[in-house]
Structure 1
Amino acid sequence: MTGSTSARILIIEDVMIMQEFLRLQMEAGGHEVTAVGEAEQALAAIKNSAFDMILMDLGLPDEDGLVLIRRIRALRDTPIVVLTAREEDDARLAAFEAGIDDYIDKQVNARELLARIRNVLNRSKGRPAQAEATTLLRFGTWTLDLDAYTLLDESGQAVDLTPMELRILGALVRANRRVLNRDQLLDAVSDTADPPTDRMIDAYISRIRRKMGDPSVILTVRGVGYRLGVSSQQD
């Protein structure tokens, strides 16, 4: 964060009146705000900038909010607060299972909204800082350069991974030991022209392990998904 009370907040809300209301409330609370109205705009902002928190609606014009949450979680561990008119228990549970930090009804008053935002920000202070537009990832003895589409081993030798394998590996490295299920991995690469199916994810993981010659780099969490088996850092 930029200070003890100030935070960089991304608002994702397609209703302009509500978006402006939230902007004014967050700025009144001393926060720096970026506001967008669509999922793809949000993903572009997240890839290019570091935010301390994301405040979002579930009803977006170009993508379901739950899908967007999974796509964000495959890229960043930024705290996510959902502000929505959906009151169904199933929607609330699905949002928490996707990885949000709080779920707030849109009827909330401004004072409570700011208090809950402050609580989420305070709880997140111990999380590792998120890198801005990170493309060079180091994990264990490996270096992954997503700009150059290259994976290097400890001696600097390139490992022959396909672009899709590199993207899947990049999602796992960015998650840094957090488990990603198949849906989250699919969401992480879904902007490609020919995204894989959930069954293909298993095959890609198997090929990545074989080419790297170290199956312990990517661990299987039975019944859940996959996670990185070594610590990572991002430049």
Structure 2
Amino acid sequence: MTDQPRLLVVDDDADLRDLIAGFLIDQGLQVETAADAAEMDAALARQPVDLIVLDLMMPGEDGLSIVRRLRGPRRPGVIMLSAMGEDLDRIIGLEVGADDYLPKPCNPRELLARIRAVLRRRSESETQVTGGPRRRFGNWTLDLISRTLTRPGQPDAQLTDAEFRVLTVFLDRPQRVLSRDQLLDAAKGQDADIFDRAIDVTVSRLRRKLGPGDPIRTIRNEGYMFAERAEDA
């Protein structure tokens, strides 16, 4: 990640787009803008970015569809903005792979704090990997650099930032009952309040990516337990 992170603000509201971009530029960030998915794709083709501030509701391809197709080990971070601030909308945004979600209108300083938090978490995941490049548990292997899960006979699964951090917590604390709050605190640290109670959503989609026989056990009224022990691969 560069010393000055590169951001892309994607919103069909030109006034809001320019307002956000101008504020972030004043804070020392490199910022490009796009009015829709086509302009976003063109901007990404010119140069990759570290994070996208993405509007949910836009003409043509919407924000949820865009997040679903932003895959791969070098996927930029995504913070979704939406005039629809209901919990369900927030959960759906996180479930499809967004790193954070803010309702419109948002305080620019809060947006800046969320951007810095997402960039910091992604940087830590890239530069502070411990225990070797891969970890193996059961017949699964987790690549700590690309955040990819592999398993014989199953397609590879790319993990989002939240899924990767939760799985890492499980691997570091096997066969122990962890409450939702413990998982949230361990996975997000001081940024836990950002994700509120979305830990169940993250665990659910992590289970789907692990596939049949996943080692995550639900402990009624207590939380979750990871049944497999990990080793360096």
> Structure 1 stretch 68-77 or stretch 119-128: which is displaced more?
68-77
In 1, Cα distance between the equivalents of 2:213 and 2:46?
33
Q: Is the 8 A contact 2:73 2:158 kept in 1?
A: no
Aligned to 1:35, what secondary structure does the other structure show?
strand
1:87-102 correspondence to structure 2 within 5 Å: 87-102=85-100
1:179 counterpart residue number: 157
Could you state the TM-score of these two structures normalised by the residue count of structure 1? 0.53
Residues 124 and 73 of structure 1: is their aligned pair in 2 closer, same or farther, counting only changes over 3 Å?
same
Q: How does 1:196-211 map to 2 (within 5 A)?
A: none
Identity value in percent:
33
**Deviations 1:19-58 (CA, angstroms, capped at 9, x unpaired):** 1001111101110011001112212322442211110100
| Cα shift at 1:223 | 9.8
Q: Does residue 12 of structure 1 match 2:3?
A: no
Alignment pair present for 1:2 and 2:21: no
Cα distance change on mapping 1:221 and 1:92 into 2, 3 Å: same
CA distance, structure 2, for counterparts of residue 77 and residue 121 of structure 1? 12
What's 2:211 paired with? 221
Distance in 2 separating the partners of 1:124 and 1:70: 19
Counterpart contact for 1:9–1:33, Cα < 8 Å: yes
Amino acid at match of 1:2: T
How far off is 1:118 after superposition? 1.1
Q: Which among 105, 110, 113 is matched to residue 112 of structure 1?
A: 110
Q: Is the counterpart of residue 53 in structure 1 residue 51 in structure 2?
A: yes
With structure 2 as the length reference, what TM-score do the two structures score?
A: 0.53
Cα deviations across residues 97-134 of structure 1 (Å, max 9, x unaligned)? Answer: 111111012222222221121111111103449xxxxx
Contact 1:179 1:221 in 2 (8 A): no
- Cα separation, 2, equivalents of 1:223 and 1:89: 30
Distance 1:127 1:220, change over 3 A: closer
> Which AA in structure 2 matches 1:7?
P
Unaligned stretches of 5+ in structure 1?
A: 130-173, 182-218, 225-235
Q: Deviations over 1:120-152 (max 9, x none)?
A: 1111103449xxxxxxxxxxxxxxxxxxxxxxx
Deviations 1:77-100 (A, max 9, x none): 211001221112221111101111
Tell me the distance in 1 between the aligned counterparts of 2:79 and 2:56.
Answer: 10
| Structure 1 partner of 2:119 | 121
Assess, with a 3 A threshold, how the Cα gap between structure 1 residues 127 and 45 changes in structure 2: closer, same or farther: farther
Q: Partners in 2 of 1:15 and 1:223 — Cα distance?
A: 46
1:76–1:42 Cα change, 3 Å? farther
C-alpha RMSD over aligned residues = 2.8
User: Can you list the C-alpha shifts for 1:174-202, whole angstroms capped at 9, x where unaligned?
Assistant: 87447259xxxxxxxxxxxxxxxxxxxxx
Q: How many Å separate the matches in 1 of 2:45 and 2:213? A: 29
How far apart in 2 are the matches of 1:44 and 1:176?
27
Native 8 Å contact 1:80 1:100 kept in 2: yes
